[in-house]
């Protein structure tokens, strides 16, 4: 939670909050250019083909080639993670903007009908602590690492009949339900806490050595 004195700072000068948001977005967006990502993906595919070919004919694969494959896979994993976080952030900011627009009583051009103020959903949702436990459980079930979709499928099975009203709210930006969106946010936090590895291959979630 943000303490009162810090909130007061942004209340006095809201432009500081906008600057902070912009800085966060720029840091997340660094290195996620589509052209760079496509080039790295193409390079990774070629290296993987070369390694497979050498393995098949029994020729030792140079350590430098394997190291480059690992480096590219890690870089693409970081990029994919940043894009995912930006998508989730977009969804949250759009919700905030809708609420702010409603507070100001704005309507679309030509629409003079008074609309009820939209409020951010307060429907109960599964706690993040529960989502975290299930993420760890799912990854251990799959041997410590697996694709994001396998994690979410495992979680969905465990949450069958237990999902709360707010969990099933649809997030248009990320094209998923609230509980899935929150699970992805929690996964991001878990990488910051050292529970999950950072720089995993694209789409993969991995427990760190200390939590495997």
Three-class secondary structure assignment of 29-49: HCCCCHHHHHHHHHHHHHHHH
Average pLDDT of the chain, as a whole number = 82
pLDDT computed for residue 52 by the predictor: 86
Distances (CA, A) of 32 to 5, 25, 78, 120, 182: 35, 11, 9, 30, 22
Average pLDDT (186-195) is 90
Note the pLDDT tens digit of each residue in 143-185.
999 999 999 999 999 999 999 999 999 887 678 899 998 998 8
Pairing between strand 170-171 and 204-206? unpaired
Could you tell me the pTM of the whole model? 0.54
Confidence class for position 78, pLDDT limits 50, 70, 90: low
Q: What is the pLDDT of residue 33?
A: 61
Query: Does residue 61 contact residue 51 with C-beta atoms inside 8 Å?
Result: yes
Are residues 100 and 207 in contact, defined by beta-carbon separation less than 8 angstroms? no
């Amino acid at each position: 939670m943000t303490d009162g004195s810090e909130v007061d700072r942004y209340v006095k000068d809201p432009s500081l909050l906008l600057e902070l948001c912009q800085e966060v977005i720029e840091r997340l967006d660094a290195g996620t250019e589509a052209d760079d990502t496509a080039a790295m993906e193409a390079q990774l595919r070629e290296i993987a083909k070369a390694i497979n070919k050498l393995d098949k004919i029994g020729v030792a694969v140079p350590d430098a080639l394997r190291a480059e494959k690992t480096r590219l896979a890690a870089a693409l994993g970081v990029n994919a993670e940043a894009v995912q976080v930006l998508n989730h952030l977009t969804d949250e900011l759009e919700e905030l903007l809708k609420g702010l627009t409603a507070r100001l009583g704005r309507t679309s051009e030509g629409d003079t009908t008074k609309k009820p103020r939209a409020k951010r959903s307060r429907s109960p949702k599964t706690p993040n602590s529960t989502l975290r436990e299930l993420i760890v459980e799912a990854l251990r079930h799959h041997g410590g690492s697996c694709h994001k979709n396998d994690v979410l499928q495992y979680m969905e099975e465990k949450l069958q009949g237990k999902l709360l009203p707010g969990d099933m709210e649809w997030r248009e930006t990320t094209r998923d339900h609230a509980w899935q969106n929150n699970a992805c946010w929690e996964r991001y936090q878990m990488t910051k806490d050292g529970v999950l590895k950072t720089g995993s291959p694209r789409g993969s979630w991995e427990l760190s050595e200390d939590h495997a």
